[in-house]
Amino acid sequence: MSGCLDRVRETDDKTADSVRLCQAMVFNDDETETHHVRLRLREGDDRLYDEEAALEPHEWLTVEAADVEPTEGAFTFEFQLNGAGWHEMDMTTIRSDPVAATALVTGDDSFVFLESSKGNIEC
């Protein structure tokens, strides 16, 4: 994937029936700490992807369209940071085609979701 991701919008609650997946990623942007993360991708009750890893600073864990079937649907991106509760993002709220999202980890319990916007990614 190349391009930029934007901070998740707080005001747009519109969703699409389905989206075409590019990727979902957890990126450890913490300069000093290793973090244990778990990444899942769901469509409804179906778990399409589930993987975990200990991420050193500037390492990432990614699920791409080639890793799942189907590649189009109403996806939910979930991740867990250091064994704490789950955080999720409804990928049908992203306004690009295809869609991409990143959970940017900045500390032990600190993260932000970033999303693709129209025209800023290539898959």
14 located within any domain: no
What angle (nearest 5°) sits at the alpha carbon of residue 92, between those of residues 36 and 118?
95
96 located within any domain: yes
Q: Closest Cα partner for 23 from 117, 120, 100, 104?
A: 100
- What the block records as the tokens of 68 is 């799942």
Residues whose CB is less than 8 angstroms from the CB of residue 122 and which lie 6 or more positions away in sequence, other chains included = 1, 2, 3
21 located within any domain: no
23 located within any domain: no
Q: How confident is the model at residue 11 (pLDDT cuts 50, 70, 90)?
A: very low
Do you know the residue count of the chain?
Answer: 123
Model pTM greater than 0.95? no
Tens digit of each residue's pLDDT (9 = 90 or more) over 16-74: 889 999 999 999 999 999 999 999 999 999 999 999 999 999 999 999 999 999 999 99
18 located within any domain: no
Tens digit of each residue's pLDDT (9 = 90 or more) over 101-120: 999 999 998 999 999 987 67
96 — alpha (psi -120 to 50), left (phi > 0) or beta?
beta
Domain, as residue range, for 117: 2-9+29-122
Beta bridge partner(s), residue 86: 80
Rounded CA separation 30/41 (Å):
23
16 located within any domain: no
How many structural domains comprise the chain? 1
